[in-house]
Chains A and B, each alone.
Chain A
């Protein structure tokens, strides 16, 4: 890694180290029910932000793929979607632990939870769709179309669902979405924002590495195919 080109990777590591150390040692406000579990805020919410960031990357590269039908764009779109899926599952896992300790059950009927589950289902469907198409060219094109369609509908879903559902246990959806951030303790914020940025950068970094591995594997396959 070079400091000039890859400064954001160092920044990500620094921010996450800061978020872990300070997130676990900081003095947190003594809120009822939540108490010390509020520290999960730095990790659980970060998963969702990282997921949305890499899924947006996937969306943008799907658009680019439809513009030029370049294989490289399709690879980025697919790898970003799979990293997004991984962050989504981690977000659900961290959320379930938190829910068990505050709301008393691993899974509660809540618009945020259902929204997350539906997003994960949609991207699992994206990979099923990819798997069922053999021809590379066709696969990239059709998967890109579904990716764009699904992403736009999911954004609408996340925007609409809290208003359609009767109530939510998540504090952010009772009024406007910015409420938690507005009410958040200043001490928490000094860890919360850096943690979010750190997770997002980490997500993009993982995508970059996975794309590179995938490219190498395909080149290797080409070389092996030519030798035999």
Chain B
């Protein structure tokens, strides 16, 4: 099982590296949305605005990046995996892979943000954990929604419609945690909010492990 998951993750990475356009597309997506935000806001002076913008761009980039998880490969190849691997290995490997992708996207997002609009981060430890846990949360939630959306005909619009209401609790908690990381001296209760984020990331992962086998069978 571990071996299976490892090989599936490796397969996804190789695939990503061989067809660069998908990865490049997402990187360019982040670059251009941040640039649009930069041009329309000018200089951001409010940490609150910075925070909201950062996470909204992160959300859209995440939805975009994850939505292709189950559609980039042909139906024939999906059937091949179906015969080859257990459904659990597939959802777990996709979730882990997407979580790694999300961490990368968050760091890139932060880099471009600090380059163009400066950053207000005071508490790097808290912000770092928020990004990592947020990546896991986004990945476990959105991977499952991508699996649901991939079973329909209009994958891309449904992905946004299905995921936004469900991703909101996580997004708001992440925003609150990173808000604390932006303000000086408000570090009380840090661990409590990180625990809430952890709970919100683990819960969808458990649900998708339980529910994915029902999606996979056809």
Contact = CB atoms under 8 A, between A and B. Distances in A.
A63 to B, nearest CB: 10
A64 to B, nearest CB: 13
A122 B200 contact: no
A154 B165 CA distance: 9
Contact of A129 (B152, B169, B207, B215): B152
A13 interface: no
Interface residues of A, number: 28
Interface string A147-176: 011101110110011001100000000000
Nearest to B151: A142
A28 interface: no
Interface string B138-174: 0001001100100111100010011011101100110
A54 B140 CA distance: 28
A149 B149 CA distance: 13
A128 B161 contact: yes
A138 B153 CA distance: 12
A150 B208 CA distance: 11
A66 B214 contact: yes
Nearest to A114: B168
The binding surface of chain A is classed by DSSP as: helix
Contacts of A157: 168-169
Nearest to A133: B152
Contacts of B158: 125, 128-129, 132
Contacts of B44: none
Contacts of B215: 141-142, 145
Contacts of B172: 161, 164-165
A121 interface: yes
A105 interface: no
Interface string A117-147: 0110110010011001100001001101110
A128 B199 CA distance: 29
Interface of A: 66, 118-119, 121-122, 125, 128-129, 132-133, 138, 141-142, 144-146, 148-150, 152-154, 156-157, 160-161, 164-165
Interface of B: 141, 144-145, 148, 151-154, 158, 161-162, 164-166, 168-169, 172-173, 176, 196, 199-200, 203-204, 207-208, 211, 214-215, 218
14 contacts: A121-B165, A128-B158, A133-B152, A142-B215, A148-B207, A149-B148, A149-B204, A149-B211, A150-B166, A153-B203, A153-B207, A160-B196, A164-B172, A165-B172
